[in-house]
Amino acid sequence: MHGTWEASPAGRWEDAFLGGNGRHGALVFGDPRDERVIVTHHALVTPVPPAHTRPPRLAGRLRELQDRLLAGDTTAAESFTDGRPLRWVGAFHPGFAVRVRRDGGPVRGYRREVDFATGVVRAVWAGGGSRVFVSRADDVIVQWESLPGRPSRGPGGAGAPGARGTGGGAAASGVYVALDARLPGAPSGLAVAHGAVPAPDGALLTLRARYPGGDEAFTGVTLVVAPGAAAEREGGGVRLRGAASDVLLLTRVRRHTGEGDVHAEAAALRALLDGAGSPAGVYRRLLARHEEAHRGAYERVALDLGGDPAERALPGSALLERRGGAALLERLFAAGRYHLLSASGMLPPRLVGLWTGDWDTAWSGAFTTNANLNLQTASAAAAALPEVVRAHAALVYGQLPHWRDNARAVFGARGVVAPSHTDGVSGHSYHFERAYPLHLWTAGADWLLLPLLEHAETAGRADPRLVSALAEVALFYEDFLTRTGPGGRVAVVPSYSPENRPANASWITVDATMDIAAARHALTAAAAHLPADAERLRALAARLPEYRVNDDGALAEWAWPGLAETYDHRHLSHLYPVWPLGEINPYDTPELARAAHRALRLRGAENDSAHGHLHQGLVAARLRDGERAAGALRRVLEGDFFHASLMSSHYPGRDVYNADAAHTLPGLLIELLVQSSPDRLVLLPALPAGWPRGALRGVRTRFGARVDLRWGDGRCTASVRPSRAALVELRTPAGADTLRLAAGRDVTLTLPVR
């Protein structure tokens, strides 16, 4: 349940097992003869000239645009740009591969595996092996390799690589180690320089790659530790010969401008050796420091669906071929938590998490904030991963100055407006075109602050930076919401429902449901944290348009009269009030919940993107439709979206490497079983019929309690462990009740499942 394995090395980088500490990433192939560990880092982004990243200065034309849209000109915004061509944000790319080439005969008894609880990726075979992890404690990629044909003093433990014996490794001409920047899609103008300095105890390998047309570059450094071996420079790497049985490699990469300080990087890596010890001893010491941070986070939450022991023992690729079943869901839940944690640190997960083996990443491998990022981090608060929340906060708070520029340049307003697409370097809105007028989307700041707000509710305290950011979002709406529509209500104009358009209008219109919901939520949330401004902010929120129910009985995607629906679309932006906001729900707003459910039933899958299916599942779970939620999950499981690495793809048939499904799936599984708000706990809201028994341990709630849940034989037991006092409405399949919770006093509930 807490790992996966394969019986052969990865033939494609998409199938390589993954490690990461939220800064560095590693894709490990596990090849006994030609091992490749591809090194990635959140900072490895192709440079974009600063002149290209400025938001468009359109504020002087905004009033005219609003007038035309309010007057019924449905194409008024098609020319509302500064005339620039479509400009992509900087592309996330791999750095280089650490290559270890061994000599030897046939390989027998091969197995590669990744342990989610420790983050160790290892390959074992008769007479040899390797281990790789990316340290959360020391920010370094740690790689242990056994030399062929020699007894190993390996790091030990069950299935340790390099167990004593020769089994196919001939006493040979040694091992060749090099750093290789020749990865797929690398630009022809990438200037690469190699360095290899042999030393008595190993070698120092360096690689400096300068991007075309400038002084920006990245430098990779690998310290090779092989006591007793003779290191000879060969090509751009070194060949190790002699008596050493174990080799330790410590690798880092740094993005910089100008010359990188290789000597400082090498000294920092040597300091990790602590002056003495065998490679295996250093490995064990570094692993212990890393594991303390990683294991504690990973093991906070666990899901057990009673999977078949025989299926649990299968390799991941074989389990995926079953296309369903409890064992597959258990493993994907565990893998999703592992990958989400591993991708989150310096920044939250990108569209590709923290991994790619190709410079030509789809959509620049960036952050798409109008659905994908929040879907990937959907489980962060409930699944007890504050590490993910902190990474998300780093992106948000780090870009606030650019968000202010967007508000001023495009809308002539104070406050902040978030971009719909960012490389993590610039937060300016400069990626847009006629068919994707992303620069006019105003709901992004609320959407991106919501995970931070949910975490604050879970923890029982708000970061002062969050309060300040909420105030800035409210400030934007006070400046922006100045036009009126029917009945004297405030009109949200211009307005955009990502990434859809009405059947009878262009993309930019008036009163998109998501924009209304975001404005109302942002103003209300700010009012709750800013008592001096509360009355004014709530009054503005009250003037926003009401949601519209169309002639099909569905919640309309645009509240403005006369705009027709386009149902077949991958995004569900108009259901933002259902998930994640919870403003529309079956308990407080049953009529709107029915309209939202009708809208969900009418929604198509368009291009079968994984995020569209799982988004539908999350909304269905909030609306207590377990059958529809399970159907959305089933479409992903049966659509061949997962690689052998258990990282996912964007489209069926493992087309376009993408983390949406892998990272979102744990959030959906939790939502089927436990939901919470600051004053409500919902148990088993959408339990699928095919889950007769199971257990979910460690879920956190937004009223400050941990919940452990177990169900089977028609009964459910829930243990609620509050960290603070709360008065909570309890909703279960048996009906409604009230829970009075006191800090430190556990409550055990027993109830029927159906």
State pLDDT tens for residues 461-479.
999 999 999 999 999 999 9
State pLDDT tens for residues 551-570.
999 999 999 999 999 999 99
**What architecture is the 3-45+92-298 domain classified under in CATH?**
Distorted Sandwich (2.70)
pLDDT the model gives residue 203: 95
Residues 6+ apart with CB under 8 A from 552: 565, 598, 602
The answer to whether residue 164 scores a pLDDT higher than 50 is: no
Asked if 377 and 451 count as a contact pair (C-beta separation under 8 A), the reply is yes
State pLDDT tens for residues 225-255.
998 888 999 999 999 987 557 899 999 999 9
To 5 degrees, how large is the angle CA 202–CA 242–CA 26? 45
The answer to whether residue 168 scores a pLDDT higher than 50 is: no
Q: Residue 654 is encoded by which pair of tokens?
A: 């493992």
Coil, helix or strand for 497?
Answer: coil
Q: Please report which helix (H) or strand (E) contains residue 218, including its range.
A: strand 216-225
pLDDT the model gives residue 446: 98
Asked if 101 and 37 count as a contact pair (C-beta separation under 8 A), the reply is no
pLDDT the model gives residue 161: 36
**729/726 Cα distance (integer angstroms):** 10
The answer to whether residue 453 scores a pLDDT higher than 90 is: yes
pLDDT the model gives residue 679: 97
What is the pLDDT confidence band of residue 165, given thresholds at 50, 70 and 90? very low
In terms of DSSP H, where are the helices of 364-442? 372-376, 386-411
Q: What is the DSSP letter of 278?
A: -
pLDDT the model gives residue 163: 35
Amino acid at the residue 430? Y
Q: How far, in Å, are 129, 131, 563, 569 from residue 8 at the CA level?
A: 13, 15, 55, 39
pLDDT the model gives residue 754: 77
In 3D, which of 641, 487, 500, 505 has the Cα closest to residue 557?
500
How many other CB atoms are found less than 10 A from the CB of residue 681?
25
pLDDT the model gives residue 185: 97
**93/42 Cα distance (integer angstroms):** 9
- Average pLDDT for 149-174: 45
**629/617 Cα distance (integer angstroms):** 4
Amino acid at the residue 188? S
pLDDT the model gives residue 244: 59
pLDDT the model gives residue 245: 72
State pLDDT tens for residues 192-216.
999 999 988 899 999 999 999 889 9
Asked if residue 94 has a cis previous peptide bond (ω within 30° of 0), the answer is no
State pLDDT tens for residues 50-83.
999 999 999 999 999 999 999 999 999 999 999 9
State pLDDT tens for residues 75-124.
999 999 999 999 999 999 999 999 999 887 789 999 999 999 999 999 99
- Average pLDDT for 713-733: 96
Query: How many residues are present in the chain?
Result: 754
pLDDT the model gives residue 152: 52
What is the pLDDT confidence band of residue 166, given thresholds at 50, 70 and 90? very low
To 5 degrees, how large is the angle CA 85–CA 90–CA 96? 145
The answer to whether residue 365 scores a pLDDT higher than 60 is: yes
Mean per-residue pLDDT over the chain, rounded:
94
The answer to whether residue 169 scores a pLDDT higher than 70 is: no
- Average pLDDT for 660-687: 98
Domain boundaries, the chain: 3-45+92-298, 694-752
**666/661 Cα distance (integer angstroms):** 9
